[in-house]
Structure 1
């Protein structure tokens, strides 16, 4: 009899441990959504902290309300299934969160600073005219541009807003523009700079100038700060991340939310302690490789 009771007790303990693990696995990423990025040296600790908190919460439930543990796990799984079916935080997001923890801590995560070389020119007149013309096309106060920008800044990654804040809006807008922009050349005899409103109206078609104007205008419409870099035969936008700490936070968000793009490196320019990343239409993710390292002009807005 005692042997049977011992065997039953041992089996019961094993089942409780397994149920506890099942509770921690989905609970940790849910907690992680509400914890800001915690960076210590080269280590990203927020999901690790979330796992510890989930384990502690499960342990307390097991000690104080053991009879509630199994229903709680069942409810948690049902919530994940519901979210999966309604495009909320589901199993795919949970797997991505764990994958991000591995990428952030053990994956290749280099930062490559690119020296932006300003090429001297002896024709300041035409260059100045081009710069002023480009600046005049950035009209972020237009209601069409503002509404378009706000709409698509809410389109993706909204479930991660508690974690990354306004960076989520910027990354969502970038994703929409670069996923839908189609390259169309100007006529051979004319270099035409379209406003963001025009590019939105034509269905997101244009050349690199039009893409850059669209990107910086829309970003400006939701409060981000961008600039344009004019190179030989190309124009591309850059986003200001801020100081080194803010840049690292942006890097964590990009790796987390664009992980499927197999990010190897984050490319950036650093000037006076401020970090800028590439938003070109050639970049599959914010901070993608630059097309050119030389520039005729840095166009501030």
Structure 2
């Protein structure tokens, strides 16, 4: 058997191409974790750059250390397998990352706040009282609330902290709360507003206002800026995303980290270039659909 025959040379080239692709696949998302988000319109430039760098690294190995290519692939597979078993960056994360590379366009379903009432003080009667009671129930400095927030802000996405920073702590906390919160109605006669401490101690049960108070209190305790939106028969929380650039970065993080969800739109409110996204208990991901579009009052905190 002559391995210098043209037939075997072609076979070796094909095998090298296959092995190279297998090297680029796990290497690209690993590189991407250490590249800051780069957006050009709706195009995730950092994801494309990661693939290019992975391909370049593979090409260099082929040129200089071809004999190391197969061991490198084997090492990447073993690392991913180990991480998968130990809840680190494993195959499921890689699939999610590549899904975000493909689904890098998302819609925005926003609402201008021209019709929203931003100053609760103009209201008279029971609504004013309700707003003041809700504001008084926010307890972000409570030790139980703070400890709960810190603990569950570390449950998810920790491996992306280098890339997205504090955003991942806020999204982790949202995911834990919305994955574990159970709806329990108040009595027919009385409306009860539970503090975040009470909701934590009762096992994360309550109605929409209890969920909202829990969400805004816990997020505030780790440095986020939140508010409550009062609509007809409903109360829900919103997270401040910042200006359009910061909002685009948050959108990218949501698409990236909640890749197991079908995300068609990010629902938000915008006023004077400032963006707020929906964190309702009905939302399966941050920026999920609004349960009620009509807002009577916005309660800033």
Name the CA shift for 1:81/1:272 in 2 (closer, same or farther; >3 Å): same
Name the CA shift for 1:21/1:123 in 2 (closer, same or farther; >3 Å): closer
Contact 1:182-1:204 within 8 A present in 2 as well: yes
Contact 2:181-2:205 within 8 A present in 1 as well: yes
Shift of 1:213: 0.3
Give yes or no for the alignment of 1:113 onto 2:114: no
Q: Distance in 2 between matches of 1:118 and 1:93?
A: 39
User: Where does residue 144 of structure 2 map in the other structure?
Assistant: 144
Q: Distance in 1 between matches of 2:4 and 2:30?
A: 40
Cα RMSD (Å): 1.9
User: Where does residue 285 of structure 1 map in the other structure?
Assistant: 285
TM-score by length of 2: 0.93
In structure 1, runs of 5+ residues without a counterpart are none
Shift of 1:2: 7.6
Contact 1:226-1:240 within 8 A present in 2 as well: yes
Shift of 1:10: 3.4
Give yes or no for the alignment of 1:188 onto 2:196: no
Contact 1:81-1:91 within 8 A present in 2 as well: yes
Give a deviation string over 1:28-87, Cα, whole Å, max 9, x none. 111111112211122112221111000111111111122222211111111111111111
Contact 1:115-1:293 within 8 A present in 2 as well: no
Contact 1:239-1:278 within 8 A present in 2 as well: yes
User: Where does residue 73 of structure 2 map in the other structure?
Assistant: 73
User: Where does residue 198 of structure 2 map in the other structure?
Assistant: 198
SS for the counterpart of 1:100 is helix
Shift of 1:211: 0.6
Q: Distance in 2 between matches of 1:196 and 1:15?
A: 58
Q: Distance in 2 between matches of 1:182 and 1:271?
A: 32
Contact 1:138-1:213 within 8 A present in 2 as well: yes
Name the CA shift for 1:7/1:118 in 2 (closer, same or farther; >3 Å): closer
Superposition map of 1:67-106 within 5 A = 67-105=67-105
Which sits farther off after the overlay, 158-167 or 231-240? 158-167
Give a deviation string over 1:69-122, Cα, whole Å, max 9, x none. 2211111111111111111111111111111111114xxx11111244336999
Contact 2:97-2:259 within 8 A present in 1 as well: no
Contact 2:266-2:287 within 8 A present in 1 as well: yes
Name the CA shift for 1:134/1:13 in 2 (closer, same or farther; >3 Å): same
Which sits farther off after the overlay, 80-89 or 235-244? 80-89
Give yes or no for the alignment of 1:130 onto 2:127: no
Q: Distance in 2 between matches of 1:121 and 1:219?
A: 25
User: Where does residue 62 of structure 2 map in the other structure?
Assistant: 62
User: Where does residue 275 of structure 1 map in the other structure?
Assistant: 275
Superposition map of 1:204-219 within 5 A = 204-219=204-219
Contact 1:121-1:296 within 8 A present in 2 as well: no
Give a deviation string over 1:121-140, Cα, whole Å, max 9, x none. 99613222211111111111
